[in-house]
């Protein structure tokens, strides 16, 4: 499934028994998530779910809100409105549990060569 950040309201969530596409078996659930900075809306009413073991892509032009959405989902910035769950954990109410369920693959080499492998791994947790 690919969510296009040019589309308001997210993408269809085929296969769920709930009309909103959310429920058991979802690794990620995002419901009507919004991020505002004053009068500027960076992410506007995005909803989608990603099932366990499903491959998911988040596409859109620069400035579409992809990084802001990921930052909200990973608890790095607060959500203005809406909800996000990672492995069933509400990112606002259970931030530590949600973070423990997230894996990171950096885009560029970010390892500190002065640290051990274990120390570099600890930084990513």
Q: What's the pLDDT band for 115 if we cut at 50, 70, 90?
A: confident
Identify which has the larger pLDDT, 119 or 24: 119
pLDDT of residue 109: 66
Q: What is the mean pLDDT of residues 83-97?
A: 96
Identify the pLDDT of residue 86: 96
Runs of H (alpha helix) within the chain: 66-73, 95-100, 117-124
Q: With bands split at pLDDT 50, 70 and 90, how would you rate the model's confidence at 21?
A: very low
Domain count along the chain: 1
Question: What is the CATH number for 106?
Answer: 3.40.50.300
pLDDT winner (highest mean) among 14-23, 25-34, 99-108, 116-125 = 25-34
Range of the domain at 34: 2-124
């Amino acid at each position: 499934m690919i969510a296009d950040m040019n589309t308001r309201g997210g993408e269809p969530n085929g296969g769920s028994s709930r009309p909103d596409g959310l429920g058991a078996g979802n690794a990620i659930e995002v419901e009507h998530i919004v991020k505002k900075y004053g009068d500027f809306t960076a992410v506007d009413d995005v909803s989608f779910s990603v099932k366990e073991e499903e491959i998911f892509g988040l596409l859109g032009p620069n400035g579409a809100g992809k990084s802001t959405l990921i930052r909200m989902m990973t608890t790095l910035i607060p959500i203005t409105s809406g909800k996000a769950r990672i492995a069933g954990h509400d990112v606002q109410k259970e931030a530590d549990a949600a973070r423990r369920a997230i894996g990171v693959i950096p885009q560029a080499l970010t390892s500190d060569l002065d640290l051990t492998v274990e120390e570099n791994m600890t930084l990513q947790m």
